[in-house]
Structures are given as structure tokens and as C-alpha cells.
Structure 1
Amino acid sequence: MRKFSSYGAVDRELHYYVPRQELINGAIQELKGDNPNKGGHYITVWAPRQTGKTWIMREVFLTLAQEKDFDVVILSLQFLSEVTDSNRVAQLIAQELTKNLNLEKLSIERLEDFHRLFERGTLTKPLILILDEFDALDQTVIAGLVAVFRHIYNTRQNQVHKSTAEKSYLLHSIALIGVRAVLGIENLRGSPFNTQRSVPIPNLTCDEVTELFKSYQQESGQSIEPEVVQRLWAEFQGQPGLTCWFGELLTETYNQNLEQPILHPYFEGIYAKALNLLPNNNILNIISKAKQPPYKPFILELFQTKKKVNFLYDDPIINFLYMNGVVDIEEVGTSEIYVKFPCPYIQKRLFNYFARELYQEMDGLYGPFEDLSDTITDHNINIRQLLVRYEQYLQANREMILKEAPRRKNDLRVYEAVFHFHFYLYLVSFLRNYEAQIYPEFPTGNGQIDLLIRYAGQLFGLELKSFADQRSYRKALEQAAKYAQELSVTEIWLVLFIESVDEKNRELFETDYFENARGVTVHPLFVQTGKG
């Protein structure tokens, strides 16, 4: 029986996989060219890590290798990642190509001589070259190799009346596989590759994820509740590496009995481990990128709830985070494009990381003999009173809480997310001894943060917002009512963070909102973050 695999290229005989034939065919077409006799395209194949780039291009290689009109070579350059001498890299790549193509020994000692490897006479027929892990190379090395490929590309383009086999250079086409540097972003000279013809690798669709787990059920005989697959899709949004990693956890690591169906409660237990306990290289890489000084302020700002952030490809910070799978694109209608987190799981991991980087769980939130019955009993939580306690704690300890808090450079104000992080860990700490479960949810990937509390068989939903103006307030009430309906609860709390609010406005805007169509009551409550 096959298994799920989340590391390295997939083996069709050993692992469950999605065929993705349309992507493979598209890459083949690009490399062969619209008119193969004229030449193929110099393309990039890019996507964040663990999205299946290597496997797809290996399938492309296996198909093209059957063509008699071309030589086809695929090389991984990961082994050259620590080599910073461009001449040495050119020499080693030349050695690998010479060996793969059974060429007569050709001495390539310098980068300046690298082009000779692709001359007609050295090569006997057009070459399709696939270079994996290209962005693992040193930036100086990348710039040098790109300059050589640009020279070859331009020379071939100028020989318009010659067939691909008659041109001075027989490098018919090339695919550079990687994340960011492949596109020439760090290279001031640009790139020879037509990035309009690049091959981005998208996430798996919902149907593809469904088919993936359908294959497992057919081979193993173990059924999976449809709700489990839908939830898996919702949490990971088809990110191939994470989807297959969770498939491993679900069907192998923690799967003790193949005769029992995989049900939703089992999923929730494994998901909690994946969220809080288990390491994953993909997530560790994303966190390592997000916490770097140039990018951390942007990520903190992205957690704010006042407005969405416009996606601008030319913004170097957004571009870097997008290329590395830290953020993604949200398209609204035909003209609105915003930044969002790629999936709820990644957003939760980043939220937890930054929350605990700033604050640890808190002690001394109430005295050992203090009567808490106004806030919590064995059967219920009074959310309003819980928020009163939090605001009092925030006001009493504000200087200490905000002492090390990150601030925006433009106005030195504390990031909105700081209060969300602190409030979350306050709830975790306050309810620790009551065995309540508190976890963040991000229904949209941007602009909405919810904290859910499960206690005494009840679900309490808290939607967090910053109070901006009355129009936004009314929209927030409607949004909260809609979310309550999705949670199948009849009441929800809209927690409004604001720097200052007087008693008159507190009384005016803390009026319960009842939406008759949904049968939902929204309880708006302020938390004052400025000095009282």
C-alpha cells in the first residue's frame, strides 16, 4: 500500500499523488516551443518550498527524454549551495553535463568559458536543460550564470532564419526551478527569461485534495468522513507539502486501527498536535522568513483588523514574503487585490509564534481565595465580566506590558496585533485551571481574528476588531452575526479595541445587536488600550 509523502519528490509507485497533468503538459509545451523547429522557451518554474516543483519537472523530464530530437538533462544544484566561486560552479556544472551527455572531455575552467559547453559542435543536437534548486546558489553565482544564459538566448534570437539545430548554440530551452532569485529580482541586470511564460505551481484544488484521499480510502479500505477532508482542505488550502504531511499524520503516524473510520474528533486531536507540538520544515522555514527584521513589521501589520493591505508585486517586502509562501493573494472582484495569509494553519502558527515571542503565559491574574463566580462557574463564562477584568489588568500593568512591544516606525504606535496577542494569552492563562480550550481562528486570511473558547460543553465566539468609525462598526456587527451563524451559535461577542472611550460612547455602542434573519445576538464590548 502506498503512503503519503511530504518531503522530496513523489514516487508514483510508493506515494499518493495528484497527476497534475495539465501543469506537466504546459511545461512540456513551453520547453519544446510553439514551433519546436525554431526553439523552445527559457522559463522559470517557481513556487514556495514543498509545493511539488521538483516532482512536476521530473515528470516533464521523463516525458521529454523519450523525444529523439533532443537531449534532455535535469540537474539539482543543491550540492553547490556553499560554493561562492562562480568559476568553480561553472566548472562543476560543466562536469555534470559532460558526464550526462557522454561528451568528449571539455575543459571549462572559468565562467567566461561556460558558453562553449552549449556550442554547436560540442553538442550534437538541441539540449533541453532543467536546473533544480537554482536559487540555492550564491547570488553572485546566479548573476554570472544568468549573464551567460542571456548571451546564449540573445544569440539564438538573432539567428531567426536558422532552425534550432543549426544555431550557434544548441541550448534549445532551459527551465530554472526555484523560489525568488530565479526571476532575477536581486540581479540589477534583470533576467533573460520571459517571466510571462514562467510556470508557477499553484496549490492543489479542493477536488484534487478530495481525490488524493479517495485514493487512500480505495487502497487501504479505511473510510474517511467527508467532513474531515473538507476541514483539511479549509485549514491547509491545498498546500501540497502541508496537505501530504497531515495525510501522513492522519493515516500513518497516529492511525492505530485501519478498521475504524477516520472521524472528525480524531482529526481535531491530530490537528491540535500539528498546531502545537509537531515540527515541520515547511513551517519552520516560513517562520524563519517572517521573523526577519525587514519583514516582521509587515507581518505584524497584516494581523491588524482595520483594513486590508493592498498587494503590490513590486513592493520588495511583499514580493519576498509571497515568493517564500508566507503570504498569498486575495482577489476581490475584478480590480481589488489584497495580501492575505496562505492558509489558516500557517496564520495560526505565525500568530502563536509572535504571541509567545512577546508574552509568556501570565500568573497572578487573581488571588488564591478570590471569588470568581461573577466571571466563571462550573457551567458558564460571563464574557462581559471577563473583559472587564482584562481591561483592568491591562490598565494596571500597561507600562510593563507595552515596554518591549514593537512599534510602527511612522508614528511609534504599538501594533494592533500586540493587544490581540496579549489578550489571547491572558485568556489562556486566566482559564488554564478551568480546562477551557482557547484557540484563534482566521476565517478570511486577513482583516478578521476570532478567539474561540470551548468550556462546559459550550462554544463562546469572540471577534476582535479595532474601533475605527461608526460605518466600520456597523459592518463589524453584521460580520460578527454572519460568523456566529457559521459557528452555529446564537450569540457572539464583538471585542472592540480602542485607545480611549468615554462612558457616554461606551453606553451608546455597547448596545446588543440582534439580527432577526439569522437569529443571532451580537454583544459589542470595548477594551480601552490607552491610559484610563
Structure 2
Amino acid sequence: MRFFNTEGPIRPEDHYHLPPLSRWDLDAILTLIDQKKYFLLHAPRQTGKTSCLLALMEHLNREGRYRAVYANLEIAQTAREDVARAMRAICGTIAAAARLYIGDDRLFDWNETALTTRGADGMLNSLLETWSQQSPQPLVLLLDEVDALVGDTLISLLRQLRAGYTQRPNAFPQTVVLCGVRDLRDYRIYASSEAAPITGGSAFNIKAKSLRLGDFDADEVRTLLLEHTAETGQVFTPEALDRVWELTLGQPWLVNALAYRACFELREGRDRSRPVTLDLIEQAKESMIVERVTHLDQLAHKLQEPRVRRIIEPMLAGSALGEVPEEDIEYLLDLGLCRQAPGRGLIIANPIYREVLPRSLAFTPQASLPAITPSWLDPNGSLNAERLLAAFLAFWRQHGEPLLKSAPYHEIAPHLVLMAFLHRVTNGIGSLEREYAIGSGRMDLCLRYGALTLGIELKVWRDGRPDPLDDGLKQLDAYLAGLGLDSGWLVIFDRRSGQPPIEARTTSLEQHTPDGRRVTLIRA
């Protein structure tokens, strides 16, 4: 029985899949190859790049006009800037790939000759020259994980390819495709041999195109999910199909991981006589986030990088980006962490990532929380909003100040501590949803616990700015209207200098929005 794939390239006999060559414009790619172009393919991790390259190799070899070989260069990453070691690894990998995919054993002998006659700085160039001259058809070389290489090793690879470019196709490959996460033009290559960083575009100025492999569209998500129905007879409810799209916006790994968990890991989902429901998809989503599965954990790890923080921190705070370098924005787009939304600018790429980022940042504050008695629960186990308010005020007055120091992003430290507290409240039973955006001036939270839904808006009062109360009441009005609620919380964190201690300035009182909704105003 086939299943949804979350590890490595697809195997058609094992995995539900979309035909890889249908995910890009094959005619345009074949035209580039016919025109002897060198080009790039990039996309975020786990989106199907390797599957597409392997399918392209098989297509070309089956067609017979070219000899195509795929090689993964990640093995050379550990060589760092040791060019001699790296080139032996790269050329050895290409030789092994040629033997595996087209049965050509000659490259191993040619490698030794290339290293002896041309040295490490010309070894790859010599190998490809000899191979092309001895090949009955023009060569197409597909090099994956190129961005695993660094410094002088990457520069050497690019310059050796550029040096042989004019000899194609008789004495150098007809086409070379370089594949990685980032567009090569965005690389800043820091090499010990160079006084200043070199851009990838200048080191490889022979590239004709830079192609980006996109996410699935809504129809493709539906087609993939329905492969499971065709194979097993288990149906997805219309609400479940829609929810997979809404949560992932077609990010390929997320689509597969969500469906795999719902259909193959959750007990109810393994019963093929029962449909895959909206509730199963929500359970799958929540368990993936709580367990910090590898893909999401790698994403969260990026939050530690300064260039990521320069964008994500103001985004979470709802403030403007300020003077952020263009390459920082390009980096987040290439990672697939953010996307450009028409009419909205830069936003988090999909709802699951939007949930993961603040939850990851709140992890340390949550781990730092003291033991808290769940005084917010009624005897029947339901959440009592008034008791929750009293518990939060007591918690904030006693523990807010020291816990702010545990938050990794200083600008949104109060937000993270509050979210850590609310995660303790939900305790795996309820849920906490978040909305935030650049320039919005706020973060919105929606706490759901049994029959209770609580809308919360967070705002910050900073030095030199007016009291955000009026704006907050208007914004909360709209947020509560969207949730169908007639009451909620407005939390204003006073971050102005010279204020009394937290325990002295933390208060609550009742306010009303312009449309008459009842609001508990918390100043903290």
C-alpha cells in the first residue's frame, strides 16, 4: 500500500504523488537544454526539487538525445574550504552517479588523471572535459545541494564550470543545472581567499535562468489527497480537504505530513471505513506542532539568525520593518518562511508556520514558568473567564518582570510571556491561535477551551507614542466581530521608560468598543 511521503524524493511504487515533471514547465526546460543553457533551480527544503531533477534525468535518458546524470554534492560540505578534499569528493560523487544512472565506469580513472594533471583547482573542469569528449551524446549534468558548499569550495566549483562553458557541448556538458534552496544570485560567498564577499551572480555569470519550484495549488492538493481515497476507499470530508489547503497553502511537505498523520498515525484515521474529518486534520496539525517535527524544528531554529530576527520580530510586534537589507527579505522568501501577498506585502508563508514561530519563541518562557495552580477552572472542568483574569493578573504581578528576561526577542517579550501562560492554561485541551502582520500595530490571540472562546488583542505603549487605547478598541472591535464575539480582552503592555514596577502598574477595568462590545482592559 502506498502512503504520503515526508522523507526524501518520491518513489512512485511507494508514495502518493503528483507527476514531478508536471510541477514545472517541461517544454521551457527542454528548450533551455536544447539551447545549451546553464540554469538554476531553487526552492525551499522539502518541496520536491530532487524528485523533479531525478524525473528530468529519467526523461532525458529515456528520450535518448542526451546522457543525463544527477549528483548530490552535499557529501562535500564537510570539506568546508579545503578545495582539494572537496573536489575529490565532488568528482567522486559525479563518477559514482555516472556508474549508477548510465552504467559509465570510466570516470573513476579519469578522476585520478585529472587530479594529477590539473590539480584540485582544475580537477572538475578536466573531468567534465574528458567525459564530454568521450560521450556519444551531449551531457546534461544535474547538480543538487550546491548551496551546501561554502567559501573557496563553492567559488572553485562555479569558476571551473564557467571556465569550461565555452567548450560545450563537444568538450563540456551541454547543460548544467545547479539546484539548492537559494537563488545563486542571492549568495554572499565568504571565502578566506577573498578580501570581500563575492556574489553568486558574479561567480556564475553564465547562468541563463533561475527557476523556482512552487508550492502545490489548491487543485493539486486535492488531487494528491484523493490518491489515498482511490487506493484505500477512505474519503476526506469536504471540510477536511479545504482545511488541509487552508493550513498549508500547498507547501508540499506540510500537505504530505498532515495527511500522513491523519491517515496513518491517528488511531481513528487508520480505520478506513471512517472518513478523514476536519477534527482529524486539526488533531494532526496540533500534534505536529507540539512534537516539533523535524521540518518545523529546523524552521524554528532559523529564528536565531540575526537576518531572520530583523524581520520576524517586528512582524510579530505588528510594527514596520524599518531599514532591513533587501537580501534579508530575499533570504526569508528563499527559505519559504515568508511570502509576498498581493496587497498585503510580506507575510508568514502559511498558517502552520504562523503558529509555529511564536510558539517556538515562547518555549523558553514557558519552560521558565513556576508551578501554577489551575484556579481558572470551574469544578466541572470548564474554563472560567473571570477566574482566568484574576489568575493572570496575579501571575503577571508576581512573575512578569523576571520572565521577560527569558524571552529571546526583547521587543515582544511581554507577548511571549503571556502566550507561555496561556499555553499552560490550554494544557493540551484547548488551543491558542494567533494573528499578526507587519504594520498592524498589534497581535491578536484567540483562546478556545471547551465552550469558551476568548478574543485577546495585545498592544504595546512605547516611548514617544500616544496611549494605544483608542486604536486598540477599534481594532479589537473588528477582531471580535470576525470571531462572532461580543466581549474580549485588550492587553496594553506599557514599555515606556521610567514606569513603576510591574506589580504596581498592572490593573484591569471594563471598557467598551465603538460598537458597544464589552472589553476587559488590562494594563501591564
| Superposition TM-score, scaled by structure 1 size | 0.79
Two-structure CA RMSD over aligned residues (Å): 3.8
Aligned partners of 1:91 and 1:108 also within 8 Å: no
Q: How far is 1:6 from its partner? A: 0.9
Q: What corresponds to 1:273 in structure 2?
A: 287
Aligned partners of 2:21 and 2:55 also within 8 Å: no
Q: How far is 1:364 from its partner? A: 6.0
Aligned partners of 2:473 and 2:514 also within 8 Å: no
Partner deviation per Cα, 1:267-318 (whole Å, 9 max, x = no partner): 33333222213x422112212222245644643333112x353796x54444
Q: What corresponds to 2:295 in structure 1?
A: 282
Distance 1:297 1:443 in 2: 16
When residues 137 and 428 of structure 1 are mapped into structure 2, their CA distance, relative to the original with a 3 A threshold, is: closer
Secondary structure at the residue paired with 1:451?
Answer: strand
The amino acid of 1:16's aligned partner reads Y
Higher helix share: 2
Q: In the TM superposition, what are the counterparts of 1:53-64 in structure 2 within 5 Å?
A: 53-64=49-60
When residues 524 and 197 of structure 1 are mapped into structure 2, their CA distance, relative to the original with a 3 A threshold, is: farther
When residues 190 and 457 of structure 1 are mapped into structure 2, their CA distance, relative to the original with a 3 A threshold, is: closer
When residues 217 and 449 of structure 1 are mapped into structure 2, their CA distance, relative to the original with a 3 A threshold, is: farther
Q: How far is 1:92 from its partner? A: 4.2
The amino acid of 1:237's aligned partner reads L
1:512 equivalent to 2:512? Answer yes
**Structure 1: gaps of 5 or more residues:** 157-163, 408-413
Q: What corresponds to 2:443 in structure 1?
A: 449
Distance 1:194 1:510 in 2: 66
Distance 1:351 1:276 in 2: 13
Aligned partners of 2:247 and 2:351 also within 8 Å: yes
Distance 1:389 1:499 in 2: 22
When residues 486 and 226 of structure 1 are mapped into structure 2, their CA distance, relative to the original with a 3 A threshold, is: farther
When residues 382 and 189 of structure 1 are mapped into structure 2, their CA distance, relative to the original with a 3 A threshold, is: closer
When residues 399 and 513 of structure 1 are mapped into structure 2, their CA distance, relative to the original with a 3 A threshold, is: closer
Distance 1:470 1:378 in 2: 43
Q: In the TM superposition, what are the counterparts of 1:177-326 in structure 2 within 5 Å?
A: 177-180=179-182, 182-183=184-185, 185-187=187-189, 188=198, 190-191=200-201, 192=204, 197-254=209-266, 255-277=269-291, 279-292=292-305, 295-296=308-309, 298-305=311-318, 307-309=319-321, 315-325=326-336
Q: How far is 1:524 from its partner? A: 6.0
Q: How far is 1:438 from its partner? A: 4.2
Distance 2:432 2:206 in 1: 45
Q: How far is 1:66 from its partner? A: 2.8
Q: What corresponds to 1:66 in structure 2?
A: 62
Q: What corresponds to 1:4 in structure 2?
A: 4
When residues 386 and 524 of structure 1 are mapped into structure 2, their CA distance, relative to the original with a 3 A threshold, is: same
Q: How far is 1:202 from its partner? A: 1.6
Partner deviation per Cα, 1:174-202 (whole Å, 9 max, x = no partner): 11111138446132053325677211122
Distance 2:486 2:445 in 1: 16
Q: How far is 1:228 from its partner? A: 1.5
Q: What corresponds to 1:410 in structure 2?
A: none
The amino acid of 2:523's aligned partner reads V
Moved more, 296-305 or 249-258: 296-305
Partner deviation per Cα, 1:72-101 (whole Å, 9 max, x = no partner): 111122333323432343344444346454
When residues 384 and 470 of structure 1 are mapped into structure 2, their CA distance, relative to the original with a 3 A threshold, is: farther
The amino acid of 1:342's aligned partner reads A
Q: What corresponds to 2:38 in structure 1?
A: 42
Moved more, 224-233 or 11-20: 11-20
When residues 522 and 112 of structure 1 are mapped into structure 2, their CA distance, relative to the original with a 3 A threshold, is: farther
Moved more, 476-485 or 248-257: 476-485
The amino acid of 2:241's aligned partner reads V
Distance 1:311 1:21 in 2: 40
Q: How far is 1:444 from its partner? A: 6.0
When residues 476 and 176 of structure 1 are mapped into structure 2, their CA distance, relative to the original with a 3 A threshold, is: farther
Distance 1:453 1:342 in 2: 22
Q: What corresponds to 2:28 in structure 1?
A: 29
Q: What corresponds to 1:331 in structure 2?
A: 341
Q: In the TM superposition, what are the counterparts of 1:103-142 in structure 2 within 5 Å?
A: 103=106, 105-106=109-110, 107-109=113-115, 110-119=120-129, 121-142=133-154
Distance 1:403 1:94 in 2: 50
| Superposition TM-score, scaled by structure 2 size | 0.80
* Identity %, equivalent residues: 21
Secondary structure at the residue paired with 2:174?
Answer: strand
Match of 1:343 among 350, 355, 361: 350
Partner deviation per Cα, 1:376-399 (whole Å, 9 max, x = no partner): 675976657744653454344454
Q: How far is 1:59 from its partner? A: 1.6
Q: What corresponds to 1:464 in structure 2?
A: 458
Aligned partners of 1:512 and 1:522 also within 8 Å: yes
Secondary structure at the residue paired with 1:5?
Answer: coil
Distance 1:438 1:16 in 2: 31
